[in-house]
Amino acid sequence: MSSINLRKPPNKYDGHLTIDDFISYPIWGFADDDGDEVMPVDYPGYLIAPNGGNGWFIACEFTLNDKTKLDGVINIRTTNHSLYVLKFPYPSGNFFTFPVNSRQEGRIGTEQLAEFLHKSIDQIFPILYKTPFIFKDGEKLIGKYDLPSHLRLITRT
């Protein structure tokens, strides 16, 4: 019988996380307030804030408007539970990052996301996200992201 290694992996930089990291450890958080390093976060039946940071990186399932289901990752603020990034895996395991509800919102345009997903904007939005995790108050970590009107593409005919 093989033994199971229960040791956590070393800290990583957010940009170096892959979908495989989330398969092994579905919740990551910042290792400290000032750094970019992230570490796996324990889940004792509810989401707990990491020791040194104010964000979670959590494995999820996305359902696009056309009902396509995709594995991915959401970034949530620990302070107010607001969504600030959607991450979609490349075949290599790295992520295409789509910032939402943040200062970086609009940095990656909807047309870039549509090109990455090989879909139209109407096939993509709204995006539902679902995790098996809950907050300490019992609220489930599920939700919907729809584009704000100022980010919607204007289609010309």
Domain boundaries, position 78: 12-144
Report the pLDDT value the prediction gives residue 2, as an integer from 0 to 100.
Answer: 40
6 part of a folded domain: no
Residue 104 has what pLDDT?
Answer: 67
Give domain status of residue 156, yes or no. no
Determine contact, residues 27/41, Cβ cutoff 8 Å: yes
How many domains, the chain? 1
With respect to residue 154, please indicate whether it lies within any of the assigned structural domains. Answer: no
State residue 106's pLDDT score: 59
Question: Hey, what are 6's tokens?
Answer: 């229960």
Does any domain span residue 113? yes
What does the pLDDT read at residue 132? 97
> Which segments in the chain show pLDDT lower than 70?
1-7, 52, 102-106, 149-157
* pLDDT reported for residue 6: 55
Q: Flag whether 155 is in a domain.
A: no
Look at residue 7 and tell me if it is in a domain: no
94 in a structural domain: yes
Instruction: Specify the pTM.
Output: 0.86
How, if at all, do strands 127-134 and 95-99 pair? unpaired
